[in-house]
Structure 1
Amino acid sequence: MIIAGRALRTLPFFWMTKGVFSSMQSTKELHRQARNTYLYYSISFLLFCTCYSCLTYNTAYYLEIGLSNTAIGIIQSANSLGAFLLPPLMGVLADKMRSMRKALLLCISLNTLCFALLPSLRTFMPLLLLTSVFAGFRNAADSLNMTWIVSELEQKKKQGIFLNYGSIRIWGSIGYSLSCIVLNLLMSRLGLTNEGSFYIGAAGMGAMMLFLLFGSDRSSTSAAPDVTPQKHKTLTLKQLKPSRLLHNYYYLTYLVVYILIWLASCFDLNYTTHLLEEIGVSTAFLGTVSGVRALFEIPGIFFSAKLAKKFGYEKCIIASGIAFTLESFIFLYAQNSMMVLAAQALHGLFDGLFMGLYVTYLFTLVPHSLAATTQTINMALANVVAMVFFLLGGTIIDRLGVRPVFYVAAVIPAAGVLWFIITLAIGKARKIPRYDMAQDPIEQALQQ
């Protein structure tokens, strides 16, 4: 209740009553800022409330229509290929247009179409093709949404409005948790099918389209209080000069950490369905498992900014990696649903911490003009690695059962933690400077 009350205080209504906008010049500007901020909450809530919660039942749907574990592994790997190819293209498009909102709207529109078509497909090849495209635009939407929010919050800081990314992302976990619980009730009490959950997802994505179309200003970033929002000039790749990233030591080393810990954050959930079947629990219980996981994300996200301020980004990310390793060992020895719930609660708590920090941390490492590009590159490369592990996972399950998969899942975040510690120590020992926007002539030119 305390966390919920504090989360509500991040809403614009509370800012108005406390006079946070008192320095602004007009009531019109106050309402514009509040409307835009409500949009960020709504998009985060709907994205996780519909897209991610409904896709929890993908694996259950594949098993229901008779696909083998190897076939499911191939589909998941193909999805990772789609998530590798499309997000960087959308990130570059967003940076070229200097409008993440427009690129996000395109991704959400295509996701809505994919969600609506998914229940009509029941054979291997059509599912592989559609879900691969779906995964690509879904991951692009997630990356663009995160980067858009962080860049908008940076603009608000210049206006004296201080919010952290976690205060907005927390509403995604609230939406995910609530929808998973509701879907579980609908399945267990009213007989909702896996296909039915996909139609619910399509409706939610359609609502997101309406929010993006009519819920905010058309500018890609918030203008200063005394400046009318202006249309940004489209930039060429030559002007953006993405090759700057190749000389950024801390970004390149963090990229490896991000890939491994992100992979750990999503790897286990793909095989929870198989684990529940092995211990004799109905797959309908997957909604409760996912809901508990999301519920525990909320305090992790909520306290992420405070923990980062006290301990630093790096230590918090390392703690998340260690927790994911421990979670995999719990899965290895899980014999009942309560042990699965305990593992998911641990995962949710530290996944929330990781989600509340990794985008903001990335934003401190790279040029702001390449924020969307770097985030989508990170997601794309993570999905390339995921391709290999999902193929491996499906083969392991068919030959050895589900338990050995969690040995692999334990090694992944442990390797990320070890790499992070070593590379940070090398950077400190060699006195490698971190990226400084004030020393970047391209960023300074864009600010003018």
Structure 2
Amino acid sequence: MNFELFRGDSGVYFWLNGLAAMAFSFILPVMSLFLIEGLGIEPMYIGLYTVGTAISTILISQVLGRLADKGIDSKTLLLIAVGFLGLAALCFSLLTQFWQAIIVGWCFMAFGASSIPLLLAMIRRFAERSGKDSTKLNSQMRSSVSLVWIAGPALAFASVGTFGFRANFLLAAGIALLVFLMVWRLLPSVPKVAKSETSHEVVPPFPYKVWFLGVGILFANMANSTYINAMPLFITKELDFPVSYPGIFMGLTAALEIPVMLLSASWSHRFGKMKLMMVGFVIAMLFYIGIQYVSSLEGLLALQLLNGLFYGIFVGLGITLLQDSAPKRVGQVSAFYTNAMSVGTMCGTSLMGFVAQQYGFRNAIYISLVAILVSFAIFLVVYLHENKQEKVSELPSSPL
């Protein structure tokens, strides 16, 4: 085992990434349950919260990413974002009305969610400064998130079932405070590099590949978020399993995706990032089809192997694919990546609420199957286009 990952600057980013994920793991998985059971809203209104929060996150994270690319201290921006995350969790522990959740989600949680692209961009810049393999480092850092999600959602649902939503959100606020203190004490400030007055460096626009891959990532996360939001309610309301079971399923998936994520870097070097990502989408199709026909606990647990394979590949390679496509705009590309993920969550959750209202939570997972088919088609088109361009460039030039 490579213990270097846990020491030095790499270790700081690893633990920060993991603890930030822990704070989110006590908020995001239980949110649909909190809105329905804690605040008593109809399932279709889950989308209102999610849409507003996602739109606010998109706007705020894009602005923060642009500021980071311009040289504004990323540490200061990250402290602001993590501070709002803790404030959002504290507010969730106190509110009693849906309109209050709307305000907290659209304002405070949007700033808090912007901490994710800021961390991703800082990790990429750290990889470039230290000469590390960015694909491998991104996968390793993302593994800390999955490691946390083995226990995080299970603990979140258990704390909700035992102590209630308030204690759960207070715990999230405490973890966010710890992350804030670690960022403040352990991360160095990165001052803006002075540029020569004669320098006229032009930052290139996003290439077409970034936009297409971003849309593909959007639909893939739409598939995953639909399942994540429908599964707790499907498991507890339609199959009558205990409220702790959704957390167990999420934790098992996270445990399975960690080795896949760590191996995805070496697999991508052998087979190619695009090919491997498309294989992950095919595995996801099999998972979403299987979930329609399995009701036993044993069968659902077995299916998590497919979900872990898909998600490990997806999150292990997604951010690197986009960052490699526009290396001079790491901050904005990282924000674009998380925004694509957020829009996918927004669309998936909104459609899930509507379909679940009419046809049930299990049938809502058909949205996941359609969305992953779209993702596969988009990645396939980009892959075939790139292969065609490479073959054209390899053709010998005609003699005069």
TM-score (normalizing by structure 1)? 0.80
Which residue number in structure 2 is paired with residue 102 of structure 1? 76
Letter in 2 for 1:81: I
> Which ranges of structure 1 fall in alignment gaps of 5 or more residues?
1-5, 13-33, 220-229, 435-448
Work out whether residues 85 and 112 of structure 2, in 8 Å CA contact, stay in contact via their aligned partners in 1. yes
Aligned length: 389
Which residue number in structure 1 is paired with residue 286 of structure 2? 326
Mapped partners of 2:186, 2:305: distance in 1: 34
Offset, 1:242 = 5.6
Mapped partners of 2:343, 2:193: distance in 1: 33
Work out whether residues 184 and 284 of structure 1, in 8 Å CA contact, stay in contact via their aligned partners in 2. yes
Which residue number in structure 1 is paired with residue 178 of structure 2? 207
Secondary structure, counterpart of 1:164 in structure 2: helix
Q: Cα distance 1:132–1:115, how it changes in 2: closer, same or farther (>3 A)?
A: same
Secondary structure, counterpart of 2:41 in structure 1: coil
Task: Pick the aligned partner of 1:411 from 354, 370, 386.
Answer: 370
Mapped partners of 2:41, 2:335: distance in 1: 31
Which residue number in structure 1 is paired with residue 310 of structure 2? 350
Offset, 1:289 = 1.7
Letter in 2 for 1:417: F
Can you list the C-alpha shifts for 1:419-442, whole angstroms capped at 9, x where unaligned? 2112221232234999xxxxxxxx
Over the aligned positions, Cα root-mean-square deviation in angstroms equals 2.7
1:324-403 matches, within 5 Å, as 324-368=284-328, 370-403=329-362
Can you list the C-alpha shifts for 1:56-115, whole angstroms capped at 9, x where unaligned? 111121221311111223222222222222211111122123433322221101111111
Task: Pick the aligned partner of 2:213 from 240, 254, 258.
Answer: 254
Matching of residue 141 in structure 1 with residue 112 in structure 2: no
Which residue number in structure 2 is paired with residue 24 of structure 1? none
Task: Pick the aligned partner of 1:283 from 243, 252, 258.
Answer: 243
Letter in 2 for 1:193: G
Offset, 1:345 = 3.5
Secondary structure, counterpart of 2:362 in structure 1: coil
Task: Pick the aligned partner of 1:421 from 358, 368, 380.
Answer: 380
Work out whether residues 98 and 232 of structure 1, in 8 Å CA contact, stay in contact via their aligned partners in 2. no
Can you list the C-alpha shifts for 1:285-319, whole angstroms capped at 9, x where unaligned? 22212211211121111111111111111111112
1:95-134 matches, within 5 Å, as 95-134=69-108
Can you list the C-alpha shifts for 1:311-353, whole angstroms capped at 9, x where unaligned? 1111111122222222221222231333333333422232122
Work out whether residues 328 and 406 of structure 1, in 8 Å CA contact, stay in contact via their aligned partners in 2. yes
Moved more, 65-74 or 201-210: 65-74
Offset, 1:373 = 0.5
Offset, 1:400 = 1.4
Can you list the C-alpha shifts for 1:111-170, whole angstroms capped at 9, x where unaligned? 111111112112221112211234422432111212211221121117x99962222221
Letter in 1 for 2:163: L
Offset, 1:266 = 2.5
Which residue number in structure 1 is paired with residue 397 of structure 2? none
Mapped partners of 2:160, 2:234: distance in 1: 19
Matching of residue 217 in structure 1 with residue 188 in structure 2: yes
Mapped partners of 2:94, 2:77: distance in 1: 27
Secondary structure, counterpart of 2:187 in structure 1: coil
Moved more, 249-258 or 114-123: 249-258
Mapped partners of 1:255, 1:198: distance in 2: 32
> Which aligned segments of 4 or more residues in structure 1 are displaced greater than 6 angstroms?
none
Work out whether residues 11 and 38 of structure 1, in 8 Å CA contact, stay in contact via their aligned partners in 2. yes
Matching of residue 63 in structure 1 with residue 23 in structure 2: no
Task: Pick the aligned partner of 2:6 from 11, 22, 29.
Answer: 11
Matching of residue 268 in structure 1 with residue 268 in structure 2: no
Mapped partners of 1:100, 1:325: distance in 2: 38
Letter in 1 for 2:103: L
Secondary structure, counterpart of 1:283 in structure 2: coil
Which residue number in structure 2 is paired with residue 167 of structure 1? 140
Secondary structure, counterpart of 2:96 in structure 1: coil
Mapped partners of 1:186, 1:391: distance in 2: 27
Mapped partners of 2:157, 2:37: distance in 1: 17
Work out whether residues 74 and 390 of structure 1, in 8 Å CA contact, stay in contact via their aligned partners in 2. no
Work out whether residues 60 and 111 of structure 2, in 8 Å CA contact, stay in contact via their aligned partners in 1. yes
Letter in 2 for 1:350: F
Mapped partners of 1:54, 1:433: distance in 2: 50
Offset, 1:234 = 8.9
> Which ranges of structure 2 fall in alignment gaps of 5 or more residues?
394-400
Which residue number in structure 2 is paired with residue 178 of structure 1? 151
Secondary structure, counterpart of 1:10 in structure 2: helix
Work out whether residues 166 and 305 of structure 1, in 8 Å CA contact, stay in contact via their aligned partners in 2. yes
Q: Cα distance 1:334–1:129, how it changes in 2: closer, same or farther (>3 A)?
A: farther
Offset, 1:179 = 2.9
Work out whether residues 83 and 112 of structure 2, in 8 Å CA contact, stay in contact via their aligned partners in 1. no
Work out whether residues 319 and 337 of structure 2, in 8 Å CA contact, stay in contact via their aligned partners in 1. no
Letter in 2 for 1:43: L
Work out whether residues 75 and 188 of structure 2, in 8 Å CA contact, stay in contact via their aligned partners in 1. no
Work out whether residues 71 and 124 of structure 1, in 8 Å CA contact, stay in contact via their aligned partners in 2. no
Mapped partners of 1:376, 1:270: distance in 2: 23
Q: Cα distance 1:242–1:78, how it changes in 2: closer, same or farther (>3 A)?
A: farther
Matching of residue 311 in structure 1 with residue 271 in structure 2: yes
